[in-house]
């Protein structure tokens, strides 16, 4: 018998957002802002809680249409305002992904009044999970751009 270890999968997204990085950082860390942009398709953040400190937790409660509700939550591992966030990420109430912990790193680079957002999402255990998150992050970042415009 042969066993092959598959390395954890990673997702990387880079966007140029037409807003100052302090504002983009606030959109990631302010509950009132998070509920205005976070989500994709018919899934939208209904509420958010943020304890913005290393070791602090966040919770985003999401409603999908009128029939489903679930959460994403994690712990902040690194905070460098307004340039970097690193946090764990786990879904609860979602079939097939409950409690699977991954790690998100968001770097924000000033580009003459705009912000280059570099998102890295690590430790996926399947291509399907990585690709589903790619769809979700890109749709959410589309909403963020509209919100900050």
Q: What is the pLDDT of residues 45-65, one digit of tens each?
A: 999 999 999 999 999 999 988
Residue 48 structural domain:
13-148
Quickly count: other Cβ atoms within 10 Å of residue 121's Cβ.
Answer: 22
Whole-number pLDDT of residue 41: 85
Whole-number pLDDT of residue 4: 43
Task: Give a yes or no: residue 113 inside a domain.
Answer: yes
Task: Give a yes or no: residue 3 inside a domain.
Answer: no
Whole-number pLDDT of residue 73: 95
Task: Give a yes or no: residue 27 inside a domain.
Answer: yes
Q: What is the mean pLDDT of each run of 10 residues along the chain (149 residues)?
A: 60 96 98 96 93 98 87 97 97 72 96 96 89 92 95
Determine the straight-line distance between the first and last CA of the chain, rounded to whole angstroms: 56
Task: Give a yes or no: residue 144 inside a domain.
Answer: yes
- For the question of whether the overall pTM of this predicted structure is more than 0.85, the answer is yes
Task: Give a yes or no: residue 4 inside a domain.
Answer: no
Task: Give a yes or no: residue 114 inside a domain.
Answer: yes
Whole-number pLDDT of residue 96: 58
pLDDT tens by residue, 27-44: 999 999 999 999 988 899
- Overall domain count for the chain: 1
Task: Give a yes or no: residue 36 inside a domain.
Answer: yes
> Which CATH number do you get for residue 18?
3.30.530.20
Between CA 82 and CA 105 the distance in angstroms is 13
Task: Give a yes or no: residue 135 inside a domain.
Answer: yes
Question: Omega into 82 within 30° of 0, i.e. cis?
Answer: yes
């Amino acid at each position: 018998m042969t066993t092959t270890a598959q390395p954890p999968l990673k997702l990387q997204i880079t966007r140029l957002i037409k807003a100052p990085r302090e504002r983009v950082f606030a959109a990631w860390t302010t509950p009132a802002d998070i509920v205005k942009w976070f989500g994709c398709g018919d899934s939208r953040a209904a509420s958010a809680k943020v304890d913005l400190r290393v070791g602090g937790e966040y919770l985003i409660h999401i409603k999908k249409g009128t029939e489903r509700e679930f959460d994403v939550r994690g712990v902040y591992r690194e905070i460098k305002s307004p340039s970097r966030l690193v946090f764990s990420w786990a879904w609860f109430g979602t079939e097939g992904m409950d409690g699977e912990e991954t790690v998100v790193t968001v770097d924000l680079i000033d580009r003459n009044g705009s912000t280059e957002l570099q998102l890295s999402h690590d430790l996926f255990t399947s291509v399907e999970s990585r690709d589903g998150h790619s769809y979700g992050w890109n749709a959410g970042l589309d909403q963020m751009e509209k919100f900050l415009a």
